[in-house]
A and B are shown apart, each in its own frame.
Chain A
Amino acid sequence: MDRRAFLTATGLAGAATAPGPLTGVARAAGPADSALVLRALTRLTADTMSGLAVFVLPGPDAYSRAQGTPRREPGAIEAGVPAFLVDALNRYLPFPDQVAVPLMRALVQGAGSLSLPAPREGDAQAGTVRRVDAGLRRLLENDATIPLAPVVALLLNLEAVRVDPLAVGGPFLSPFARLRYARKARVFQLLEGPDPTLVAILDRHLPEPLRGSVSGLLKFLAGALLELTALGSYSEWAVFDPQTRRLRGRPVGWRICGYTPSADGWDEHRGYYQGRKQVTG
């Protein structure tokens, strides 16, 4: 029952049965159950990152409406921030597999002892849950390469259902994405705290020498996620063409804040304060 609660609460079981396009992280084709889990993780991660992106820059999208802060102007979804986050976390945040995989394993093994909301009627079928469970076990036993973004997604979703048990069901795949704005903030409050219950569980299931590092890791991650999202939201990332090093359009963030750069200079020279061009001594 605990396993089923974990898989349902994190949204993973639901993501395993959801239709939809695949992008991003799934890379290892393997036994069918493992492939199923990787596909589910990919979908769940994209959905969770959408919930995070609009938390920092809301817009006119469904995720912003769900958190109760819809805006007319474009926001993080239009700025491509969910994909920015997946890319940054998976490919560039230099967390070695030897950290991400044990963390994932500790989450899976330890989360059963959190008091999670029970799966509801209509949640993923028992057969699917069993397959997801088996696939996840196989992935973790085989030391698969699991990038960081899905680990972060599971963390956010797990905390989401602890903040609001009703988030276990609803629109989207990600419980975190279902939260109202104030409750998303509560998730970050827990992570930054850091949440002593989660720290204790993860530390208990982490191998040496990583044991004892969870508290700092959660505080760092919580901060970095918000700062990185803010950077990406107001940057040119979504419209930058790395081949030509030119922009394909005007970035969302620039439109919001009225920014128009002049690449090589401005006519801003206003002379010298009190006419003084040099000082000595």
Chain B
Amino acid sequence: MGLIQNSIENVGIATISVTMKPEITYYVQVPRSAHIRFPLGNPIGEANKIDDQKIVVHDLLRLFEIIQLPGTIFELPYRWKRKIESFQGE
């Protein structure tokens, strides 16, 4: 994803990526990245929680203004409280 992000940024479109593995993002080097401590498969949050998902997307957009230095990995302070298994059957 880092190669794609850098290429898009290179043509004048500002980009931010979500990462769940910041140690990899750190080595790839991308313009802006938000570390979200959610499980794989849920970068934007839980299923059918549109209000929470909207907060995450809005916060990602707010980071365009906040992050001023290339390579920043910003850790968004969300906490995951549920187990992945709990998605099933609900």
Q: Are the chains A and B members of one assembly? A: no
Residues of chain B touching chain A, judged by Cβ–Cβ distance below 8 Å, are: none
